[in-house]
Every structure is written in C-alpha cells, then in structure tokens.
Chain A
Amino acid sequence: MADIYTMGIDIGSSASKCLILKNGTEIAGSAVIAAGTGTSGPRRAQEEALAAAGISMKDIRRSTATGYGRNTVEGVDAVVSELSCHAIGIHAVFPDVRTLIDIGGQDAKVIRVSENGRLDSFVMNDKCAAGTGRFLDVMARVLELDVSELEEKSAKAKNVVNISSTCTVFAESEVISQLSNNVDICDLVAGIHRSVAVRTAGLVRRLGVVEPVAMSGGVALNGGVVSALEEELGLTIKVSPLAQLNGAYGAAVHAWGQLEKETL
C-alpha cells in the first residue's frame, strides 16, 4: 500500500513551522522558519518540509493549519486552534502528560490535556509579553547574546539576580542598569530565566498543577528556563523533543485523525 502523508502547519507570530507525517506515526519531514504570519515564512516552511520528506504537495492527503496565522494559510483542509493542536501533539509524544506548558513567541499557554489527548481547559498570558519568547529575545539582545546561548550562561550563575519588573520594557531597563553595575552576565541571565519561570508558574497554578507536566514551544529549547520552572514548581518537567514543532505535529496528527474518520 502506498504511504499516506498528512501535513500540519503552525503559523506563529515569529516563526512558521511545518511537519509532514507518514502513515500517521512517522515524521517524514519538518521545517522551522524564523518568520511568522504575513511573511514568506509559511510558504518556505511548507516547501522545506516537503523537500525534507522528498515529496510534493500533491502527495499530501490531508492538511491542518493552526497558530496565530492559521486562517491565512491557503488550501488547507482544516483549521484548528493551537490550543487543541498542542494538546494533540503532546499526547502523541507523551500520552501520560496532563499539563502542558507551551511558551511561544508572543504567548504562554498552560493546557490541561485529557486522558484521550484532547484539550480539556487552558489559561493563557494576558496582554503583557512578559514571560514569553519575545521577552527572552529582547533580553538576549540587550546582553549581546543569541537566545541559544542563554542556557549555557545561566548554568554558570553563582548569585542569581532578582529581576523585579514584569514589564518587558521595564525589565530591559533593569537589565541594562545591572549591566552598567558590572553584574555578572551569567547571574543576570539566570535572573531573567527565573523571572520567566515565576510568571509561568503563576499561570500553571491558576489552572491547577496535575502531573506529569511537559513543556513545548521555542522556549522549551532553553534548558535554563526549564530548570528554573522545575525549581519554581517543585516538580520534574518532560521536554518535548519536538519543542517548536509540537503544534505542527498536533496539526498533522489531527489531519491524520480526520482521514481515519473518513475511511472508517
């Protein structure tokens, strides 16, 4: 029997993600492009994922779009909220997980996943960008670091600095002020991570902590934030190996589910 491919496309505010699933289980190709909705990112993500899978668009039997820019993707078969796709995605990776923390470019979500892998309930950050990926981007820029370097720096911290401002702009000023006082950059990065962790932990507690807990989204790639969150919540967090691709993965699984429903 010929292989069946489904595609999940997650168009975020700062990145476009695409994942192609073969026969409902195997990841045939994926791509993460650091350009979100309204850019060439969505198209490039699809093209790169298709190239990685060695197939073309006509081979895709079913596709689901999700994310902030989900309604702008042309030619997809379904549009589903990222909340549901993240729940589906993490359930496919860690079926026992009941709480998912996903921190993306402009929002932070905490999702309760039901036993059958559906979205049960959720809370999201309010209009403030504190505690999101954008917050870390801004801080990294001030520190003249790439976000990928933050984890390594925070691991070397000796005296974690307290960043008291939750507002991104105020926190930026606070970090600049600490820098001018010659505070160790590693201590500062650890303080920034703790600031994100404290704010995210508040969201988790609002929804209620039900273990096991997992984390996805671009910020999950930063082990410094994950550790700070584990410490803040007093539990172990499973990190999705798909990180940023969790939503796209959930979308591809959703597309597969739709196909199965049809053929049943």
Chain B
Amino acid sequence: MSEATEKKPAKVVLKELQDKIADDAWEAKKRGEKVGWCASNFPQEITTAMGIPVVYPENMGAAVGAKGGGQRMCEYAEGMGYSGDLCSYSRINFAYADLKKCEELEIPFPDFLLCCNNICNCMIKWYENLALELDIPLILIDIPHLDQYECDEDRIKYIRAQFDDAIRQLEEITGKKMDYDKLKSVMEVSQRSSQAWLRAVGYMSAKPSPFSGFDIFNNMAVACVGRGTVEAAEAFEQLADEYEALVAEGKSTFKGDENYRILFEGIACWANLRFTYKTLQSRGINLTASVYGPAFSFLYSNLDELMAAYSYVPNSNCFERELELRVVDAKKNKVDGAIFHMNRSCKHWSGNLYEMERQFREQTGVPTIVFDGDQSDPRAFSEAQYETRVEALVEIMEENKRKEAQA
C-alpha cells in the first residue's frame, strides 16, 4: 500500500491529536499568547471558537498517575500542608504549581483559570486556591447540581448569563474577540464529534464488543479536550467506522475470548491501570459499559440547549438520572456483572456509590462488587483485595451462565 493511501488507525490519530493540542498550547505560550488551565467539562465551545489555548490539569493528573508519578506528587502536596483526603488530581496539580516541574508530564503555566463545577463542586476551591497562589484571574461557570430530573428555564438562564460573562472576561484577558459565526460552526463540529463518539461507544452493545472497553479511558481524552475541532470529529467518525467494520466481521480488539461483559463504574485507577485491566482480561472479562461512553457527548441544537447539556454531566445530575444512565447502559450492552470503584479521590462519586451499587444491583439483577482505589494515588488500592473481589464476581457470573444454559 502506498504511503498516500495508507490510513493510520483512529486510535493513533486520536493520540496524535491529543499530543498536537498539548503542543499547540506550548507553542502559543512561547508566542506570548495567554494560556488557561481548564476544568474538563467547562464549555469548550467558548475557548475553541475564540482560539484560546487551554490545557487540562485533570488530564495531567491522570497521565502523571498512569506514568507512576502520582504518589510522589501527592506526597509532595501533602508535605505542603494539603490533606491526603483531597482529590489526587488536585494534589498533583498543587504540587506541580509549586514545583513548576514534573518528570512525567508538564503543561504550560496558566495566565487565567476556567472552572466549571458540573464535574465536581470541590473543584471551585481547588481553582480558587490556584488563583490565589498564582495570582491570576479565575472565571467560574457555576452549574447548579440538578435536584430535579430536567434542567429548567431558570437554570438555563442562570448558566447562559455566566456563559456570556465568561466570554466577556476572556475577551478582556486575552484581547481576542468572540466570533459568533465561528461559535456556531464550533457547536456544529462538536455535535459531529459527540455523535460519532456515541456511535463508536454504542458498538459495545455488539457481542462480542468490537473493542477492549479499557480503550475508552484512552480515547475519551480527545472527547474531553478537543471535541470542537474538525480533526476530532473526523477521528471519532473514523473510530466509529472501524468499530462498525469489526462488528460486521464479528471481530474485536479485545485479547482473548469475551467470556463476561461488565460495567465499570468510576474513573480508572490510572496508577494501577495495567493490573486492573489484566486481572479482568486474563479472565475473559471485557468492559462493555461505562459512564464515560455517553458522558463526553454534549447533544444540543442551540445555545440554550447547550447550557442544559452541560448540566447533564454525570456528577451534576440528580441521583435518579445518574442511576438510570447506568442501568440503561448496562441493559443495552448486556452486562453480566458490574465493578464499582470506590474512588477515594472523588467525594461526589464515592459519596453515593454504595447506594448506587445497591439500586443498580436491584434494578439490573446482575452481580456487583465494590473495590477501594483512587484515580491517581496508588496508596488507596490493594491488588489482593481487587483480585479477590473480581474472582468472586467471576464465580457468580459463571454460575449464572450455567443456570441460564440449563434453563
């Protein structure tokens, strides 16, 4: 095949795109442009349309955790006086803000901060602290936690006012003007990306799933940081096409037979990703449902709907909506069991996890396990405890399958 016609696999394209977004931010910083640190679910439509480079401390926290630097950075932050009970992403970020270096990964230092509390309310304090320490402006979009099922008109107005004000503040800080035609086209592109991402992860319902579910944890990075770009939309469309082709052929990138299908609840244990994955994969367990599938897809057709879409981020929803998201996903993707990560970093996620697990188990009828861990601090995870729970889950799923076969 000639070089001109050879097409890189979508996962390679996505990784390169992720690297390019990071490189672009460094280049912009060198050119003297203002660069921001941004919360993962801040409406990226604003910064993408205005051409403002931003980087994501949460992504850095995950990458540092995966590359083995989580414990060192967390311990440094604790030495600064931060509590070990704080989110490990925040501790890694506080350590980096102080050290100004990190051997696993570095991101350009910020001139401003963009915070959105739809993913985490504690994050406001994290970003306020950064604003004080670094003496830079903080722009906050406060999205009220949904205490009802739907985002109503009042909430939309409240979020919209802040959305408009964030644009005004960013214009002042960066000197760049919002082009509303560009905003419209970024919104359209974001829809393309979201639809394609949903289509891609939707193929997990196929038996066997065309891909190893842990791939979601890698591919979602671009869904988070770059979904407003044409390159991302094209990469996700390619990814969905690749999965579609695999389904048609009955093939999968999952290594080995897919004996069991599970829902994995929560953020991955980045520092223990290999162990958590291998423990499952070696027993023929594939992840075929995760909130990360639908989570990074923001579906809307106008600005008001965009505001509502950002209030439907998991962790910002009411419990009933959160539960339904998982139950529907688990049923659609035909899971045999579920693994719930009691993520010690995340107060919101761990706060309602036991009740989520209980109601999920009752509504789906599938066996569940809960294990202790953390997104980037390996000290909260025990290999033996994880393995024991997974083995017991396999034994229950095996027995359930035997009974099904007999019936």
Contacts and interface: CB of A to CB of B under 8 A. Distances in A.
Interface string A51-84: 0000000000000000010000000000011111
B367 interface: yes
Contacts of B384: 68
Contact of B392 (A68, A119, A127, A206): A119
Interface in B49-78: none
Q: Which interface class (under 10, 10 to 19, 20 to 34, 35 or more) fits B?
A: 20 to 34
Contacts of B372: 126-127
B396 interface: yes
A120 interface: yes
B354 A81 contact: no
B29 interface: no
Contacts of B396: 118-121
Interface in B151-192: none
A123 interface: yes
B303 interface: no
Contact of B395 (A83, A123, A124, A206): A83
Given A121-B367, A121-B368, A123-B370, A80 B382 contact: no
B380 A127 contact: yes
A68 B384 CA distance: 7
Nearest to A84: B395
Which of B385, B392, B399 has most A Cβ within 10 Å?
A: B392
A120 B396 CA distance: 6
Interface residues of A, number: 17
B297 to A, nearest CB: 32
A206 B392 CA distance: 18
A83 B392 contact: yes
A135 interface: no
A68 B361 contact: no
A127 B382 contact: yes
A5 interface: no
B358 interface: yes
A256 interface: no
A126 B370 CA distance: 8
A249 interface: no
Nearest to B370: A123
Interface string B383-402: 01100110110011001000
A81 B392 contact: yes
Contacts of B370: 123-124, 126
B222 interface: no
A82 B361 contact: no
Interface in A167-206: 206
B247 interface: no
A251 to B, nearest CB: 13
Contacts of A119: 392, 395-396, 399
A206 B358 contact: yes
The dominant DSSP class at the A interface is mixed
Contacts of A123: 370
B395 A80 contact: yes
Contacts of A81: 388, 391-392, 395
Nearest to A83: B392
B342 interface: yes
B399 A118 contact: yes
A121 B361 contact: yes
Nearest to B354: A206
Contacts of A127: 372, 380, 382, 385
Contact of B389 (A80, A118, A124): A124
Contacts of A118: 396, 399
Contacts of B368: 121
A209 to B, nearest CB: 13
Which of A82, A120, A122 has most B Cβ within 10 Å?
A: A122
B388 A122 contact: no
A118 B402 CA distance: 12
A126 B392 contact: no
A83 B354 contact: no
A40 B338 CA distance: 37
B250 to A, nearest CB: 32
A126 B388 contact: no
Contacts of B391: 80-81, 83
Contacts of A82: 388, 392
Given A81-B391, A82-B388, A121-B361, A126 B399 contact: no
Nearest to B361: A121
A123 B389 CA distance: 9
Contacts of B389: 124
Nearest to A122: B392
A107 B389 CA distance: 12
Interface string B348-370: 00000010001001000001111
A126 B395 contact: no
Contacts of A68: 384, 388
Nearest to A79: B391
Contacts of A124: 370, 385, 389
A113 to B, nearest CB: 12
A127 B380 CA distance: 8
Interface in B19-36: none
In the A-B complex, the 3 residue pairs with the closest CB atoms: A83-B392, A81-B391, A81-B392
Given A107-B385, A126-B372, 10 more contacts: A81-B392, A83-B388, A84-B392, A119-B396, A121-B367, A122-B392, A123-B370, A127-B380, A127-B385, A206-B354
28 contacts: A68-B388, A80-B391, A81-B388, A81-B391, A81-B392, A82-B388, A83-B392, A83-B395, A84-B395, A118-B396, A118-B399, A119-B392, A119-B396, A121-B361, A121-B367, A121-B368, A121-B396, A122-B369, A122-B392, A124-B370, A124-B385, A126-B370, A126-B372, A127-B372, A127-B382, A127-B385, A206-B354, A206-B358
